Structure 1
């Protein structure tokens, strides 16, 4: 009776626990400056009581301590376990039938080869005995000769038919082997799941949401700063460059970009007692910035498998790529092409085999640069060896098919840092993002969905566009540079919420340069050098170089006179600021005196001389300044222009 009670209780417990397998999909991804949090959802039908849910479609290598769940009221999480499926749980493909097909095809191939040997022996027998024997009359000889010729034709025809059947059998056998190779490759890939045990207070259909952290992802901001006219507002286009290699592609998902860092600890450090003396090693030091994360970039393998003699594509050839303990199996298609993306860069051992051809075993390198690998296989019946040819930066479409015919040449490299010159300004940009300011970070929600492949290649996402009134002028420092620079000066720029980033500057659609901007070191007025203005020309000349020096008993007197000429070749007027300088003396024996700088502002502490003027189009502006320097004759090493 006691055993019967235990069995009944165990049976009731099994009935109360429901096991469910569900597929999951990515709902959205929050990408941080270092790392990303992926949020997945799954719709499940729960029974009343305990349910064990197997959540599938996950990348391998998740960190269990970063997995979090969000379930509805009335559902209690009991436990969860992230693990790989055991061989008993994996629905492995049965290769028995495919193996039997290969054996049957091999038997047919053996039979055809035996038939060819027999036909060749008959043909040789007829050839050897054609001139033997006594055929009697001429009529008998003629009849025998006709028979021999007819028989030779039949045998040669039978041999050709057998060769065609043999070739077809080899292709069929290679096709079955190719299918076996693909199945074998699939079987070699581990599959991970999250096994979640929950208790529900009633039967229901509900959604379960869970998230996990991927450390091999990040985003980096940069700005396209545009000025379309000297009197128009300055436009800041914020671009987020996203890169990830998490092991799963983010396909058509909603993206959030956060300025935070999910890897930071919330534990505040404590200050220990700073004791001096032997055996004490603590020394307080300032904070150090994170060196950032390195997202490994993947490459791709593209190849052509061909006959080394004829150039004919070889379909269904098996190609193995081995790196370390991991082997990837590929099979060429009907065009002889073979391809695999998302391969870690580095050296691989390539093994190619095909029925009727010599095996090829070589080393190749997978890099970030696309390469086309021609795998030329030599027939096992010929002396020509198998070989390999790597064409850097190529694809089958660029370098033609297996016979060398040129295909359409296309540029396969993507320009990830576009200037977005084709976009038109307007309020429509504002719909791309929704910023949410949190206590320590800013979160940007990108309303347009994007796809980001797990290959370490960056993609650009439009975050926002904001415009601010700015004062644009041209600044010239002729003593240091031969170029005039367009300067944008803005007040009340803090509402832009600028991030530390590179800025790419465009004026009237032309790219003028780039620089890194850190807004934390900016004053109340933000000044940005947008780049060189080629439409402002100028020259600076010393006009008294030959007669400027006079020497007395103990002192030398030098007089410096300079002329600066600026011309505006723009079609409109522009404010021009010219900055030059005269020296400042740090010695009592060296004296500097200003003589003239008409129309300029003088800063006596720095020696900076500044002229400002609204310069009309096609107009020239001349300015002069003059100063004298007196120094001891015994000190000729004063750093003055010579």
Structure 2
């Protein structure tokens, strides 16, 4: 008796579900908030319910959605009793269209065989006519009338055969193209069959009959966005144009079509609970530390190409599923060239499944996805006339030669890029040099929206609300969104270090740049419409003035030559005395005044046996600790300026030095 009661208690929830009015509904994505890592997807659908309790089954949702993140908005005149989830797959009823299309393909293939048979008959008839083209015999020739009738017959019949063959060829081509379309549709449907989905079960108690929308949301990890900027300068007298851009990508397994996007600088994966202080026992070396996960600019990804094993030809629209612990993590299809890309991916071990109609399905195991690295996995599948459900299993092999730097280097987190990004040496020097004059007044801003958008600042970070609907497919590719352009009056000035590089570099200072709501990101530099380089914006290291290097400007003339009339080397006993002089010439070739800082140096020493004396500086600012000389110049249009400096070095003979 106790066992019976126990079994009844287990079945009671299912019995109560069975007694409810169950509605299986499909919903539509309306809004998506994309974070640096992950996205919150909002859906809605219409409900028409009678008074009483109802079970609403929200179908075909991503397998990777976070159950803890599900939110269902309240409905007027209805109470939400519970929200649960369950896994699901395609039903037998939903597989029926595949069988119907396969039958259609068989009928079309049979039609092609009939057409080919007709074509062979026509070809044989045509050959027979050609073989019997010689009429009459040697003893008796044909009359003119007979010859004309025979020629007309041959011409008309051979024309009929040729036209009929052309029609057959066209019909065969049409049927083949139709079969390709059906195979593509079958492949798409089979991709759905192989996928697992999540269903959200919502139990409602309606006070009365209602007709209302149910709005719900959930979090998925396989999505992200990356900000980047374009800094554009036409002339030094013009304002700086800052174009705000974003790359959005996702591999959640569902396409976002015509949705309202919101780009957020938040990271929902970070803990929101406040930190705590614990006892610190000095003798136990138990110092408390805080670990912060760095933001990823592009995140981990896997890409590759699917090809025919025998012909090596690429296979378009093949289904790719990324699995982890037997569960589907993400999925996509190959493009026309057989390429696929899944991005972003959390680090870990994965399996990759590939299938296509007419080919043996394949599964590749033990693929290690490293943090912020690109992993390559090419797939070759073998053609098969028999439909197979069993996957050929192979082990992933690491490529001997990486295809690009991101697949073999260290991680590409924001902090790493900012601290380790290889600089173009003169530009990297220019980006950190002094000689900057700042305006005290606040810079003016002129903003142009490329799309309808709204900037919202919540308690923790920035959000861009994109009012214009966008479509972001689940293919891991970057979808560029050009948000807005802001024009800002800035301080332009040039910086030249002719000892290192003959070209001056255009610099600009952004005063009160915090009003621009800039994020840590890469930025591209355009000068007079030409791309001149890229760099990384690190707002954490910036003060009230943000200094940017905008690249070279070869239109200014700068030269650095030795002064032969001063250069001298004398030997006096055990010592050598050298005098070295330099002449730096700069000319403003612009039709307007410019501010330019010239930097050079003279040697310094830590040896007491070496004596260095700076003789002439042309009123340079001298830093004795570093040996740096700098001149801040305001040159009028076409003005030319010469800067001279020289120094004397006295050192023992036994020391070999290069004083120039």
- In structure 2, C-alpha distance between the alignment counterparts of 1:349 and 1:34, rounded to whole Å: 26
Asked if structure 1 preserves the Cα contact closer than 8 Å seen for 2:566 and 2:579, the reply is no
Q: Tell me, yes or no, if the aligned pair for 1:78 and 1:199 is still in contact at 8 Å.
A: yes
Matches within 5 A, 1:156-195: 186=189, 188-190=193-195, 191-195=197-201
Separation (CA, whole Å) in 2 of partners of 1:512 and 1:320: 40
What's the offset of the Cα at 1:38?
Answer: 0.9
2:555 alignment partner in structure 1? 535
Q: Which stretches in structure 1 are left out of the alignment for 5+ residues?
A: 1-9, 114-160, 309-316, 327-336, 354-359, 379-424
Q: CA deviation at 1:447?
A: 2.2
**Alignment CA distance shift 1:572-1:108 (3 Å):** closer
Does the 8 Å CA contact 1:245/1:295 hold for their aligned counterparts?
Answer: no
CA distance in structure 2 between the partners assigned to 1:95 and 1:287 by the alignment: 51
From 287, 294, 299, the counterpart of 2:299: 294
What's the CA shift for 1:286? 5.4
1:224 is matched with which residue? 230
Match of 2:398 in 1: none
Give the Cα separation in 1 of the matches to 2:515 and 2:460: 16
Q: Partner residue of 2:589? A: 569
Say if 1:300 and 1:184 are closer, same or farther in 2 by CA, change over 3 A.
closer
- Name the structure 2 match of 1:48: 51
**1:147-192 superposed Cα distances (whole Å, 9 cap, x missing partner):** xxxxxxxxxxxxxx9xx99xx99x9999899969966973634454
With normalisation by structure 2, the TM-score equals 0.64
Q: In the aligned structure 1, how far is the partner of 2:450 from the partner of 2:592?
A: 31
Higher-Rg member (1/2): 1
Residues 371-418 of structure 1: CA deviation (Å, up to 9, x unaligned): 9x999999xxxxxxxxxxxxxxxxxxxxxxxxxxxxxxxxxxxxxxxx
Q: Deviations over 1:424-462 (max 9, x none)?
A: x97542763211112221111122221111111111112
Q: Summarize the alignment of residues 301-450 of structure 1 with structure 2, pairs less than 5 Å apart.
A: 427-429=447-449, 432-450=452-470
Sort the Cα spacing of 1:28 and 1:98 in 2 relative to 1 into closer, same or farther, 3 A. Answer: closer
Q: Is the 8 A contact 2:187 2:319 kept in 1?
A: no
Contact persistence 1:102–1:173 (CA under 8 A): no
Q: Does the 8 A contact of 1:468 with 1:493 survive in 2?
A: no
Q: Which residue of 1 aligns with 2:506?
A: 486
Whole-Å separation in 2 of the counterparts to 1:462 and 1:109:
50
Structure 1 residues 96-245: aligned runs within 5 Å:
186=189, 188-190=193-195, 191-245=197-251
> Aligned equivalents of 2:633 and 2:215: distance in 1?
63
Counterpart check, 1:629 vs 2:633: no
CA RMSD of aligned residues (A): 5.1
1:514 pairs, out of 530, 534, 548, with 534
Deviations 1:213-256 (A, max 9, x none): 11111111111011222122212111111111111111111111
Tell me the SS of whatever aligns to 2:554: coil
Deviations 1:538-557 (A, max 9, x none): 22122249952223335432
Report the CA distance between 1:103 and its aligned residue: 9.9
Q: Give the deviation of 1:20 after TM superposition.
A: 1.9
Could you list the per-position Cα deviations for residues 103-136 of structure 1 after superposition, in whole angstroms to 9, with x for gaps in the alignment?
99999999999xxxxxxxxxxxxxxxxxxxxxxx
Q: Is the 8 A contact 1:244 1:295 kept in 2?
A: no
Q: Would the aligned equivalents of 1:234 and 1:468 in 2 still touch at CA under 8 Å?
A: yes
CA contact (8 A) 1:318 1:352 kept: no
Question: How many positions carry a matched residue from both structures?
Answer: 506
Q: Which one of the candidate residues 601, 610, 626 is aligned to 1:581? A: 601
Which one of the candidate residues 606, 610, 617 is aligned to 1:597? 617
1:525-579 deviation per Cα after TM superposition (whole angstroms, max 9, x unaligned): 2221100001012221222499522233354322121001123333444222211
8 Å Cα contact 2:447/2:486 also seen in 1: no
Give secondary structure in 1 for the equivalent of 2:276.
coil
Partner of 1:400: none
- Name the CA distance, whole Å, in 1 between partners of 2:355 and 2:566: 76
The 2-side partners of 1:101 and 1:506 are apart by 56
Matched residue, 2:124: none
- For residues 256 and 465 of structure 1, what CA distance do their matches in structure 2 show? 18
Contact kept? 2:186, 2:357, Cα under 8 Å: no
Whether the aligned pair in 1 keeps the contact of 2:187 and 2:318 (CA below 8 Å) is no
Q: Which residue of 1 aligns with 2:659?
A: 640
Aligned to 1:29: 32
For 1:499, the equivalent position in structure 2 comes to 519
Tell me whether 99-108 or 240-249 shows the greater mean CA deviation: 99-108
CA shift in 2, pair 1:569/1:172, >3 Å: closer
Rounded to whole Å, the distance in 1 between the matches of 2:514 and 2:68 is 38
How far the C-alpha of 1:348 sits from its partner, in A, is 8.3
| Aligned residues of 1:503 and 1:516 also touching (Cα < 8 A) | yes
Tell me the residue number matched to 1:39. Answer: 42
- In the alignment, the residues of structure 1 paired with residue 586 and residue 97 of structure 2 have an alpha-carbon distance, to the nearest angstrom, of 84
TM-fit CA distance, 1:516? 1.0
SS state of the match for residue 214, structure 2?
strand
Tell me, yes or no, if the aligned pair for 2:98 and 2:189 is still in contact at 8 Å: no
Q: Structure 1 residues 582 and 208 mapped into 2: Cα distance closer, same or farther (>3 Å)?
A: same
8 Å CA contact retained: 2:597, 2:633: yes
CA distance in 2, matches of 1:338, 1:528: 41
Query: Using the alignment, how far apart are the partners of 1:352 and 1:88 within structure 2?
Result: 20
User: Contact 1:542–1:562 (CA<8 Å) still a contact in 2?
Assistant: yes
Partners of 1:525 and 1:98 lie apart in 2 by 65
